[in-house]
Amino acid sequence: MPKSVLEAIKMGFWDFEPPEVDDEMFDASDAMPGTKEKLQTLADRAKSGLPLWHESDRDDVDDPSPLNRKPR
């Protein structure tokens, strides 16, 4: 059984869905969308068999991730 999407594709499994992983099992990223840092984070997650997206990832250029927002 493949451990990641990349491994599944190499094995010819085009409909592979990785198992769900709790957000507490991997770190969120504060990298801005589209940056090299964010792309590297996504590549590292894919290689590790983790979901590409974390609920607390930064998803806006103007707003930091929920992890780094200061209370108002």
Query: Could you tell me which of 68, 62, 70, 56 has the C-alpha nearest to residue 28?
Result: 56
Quote the pLDDT of residue 72: 45
Tell me if 5 is assigned to some domain.
no
Tell me if 11 is assigned to some domain.
no
Tell me if 15 is assigned to some domain.
no
Tell me if 7 is assigned to some domain.
no
The burial class, CB within 10 Å (0-12 / 13-18 / 19+), for 41 is buried
Low pLDDT (below 70) residues in the chain: 63-72
Quote the pLDDT of residue 59: 84
Residue 36 sits in which domain range? 20-68
Total domain count for the chain?
1
Quote the pLDDT of residue 1: 80
Tell me if 14 is assigned to some domain.
no
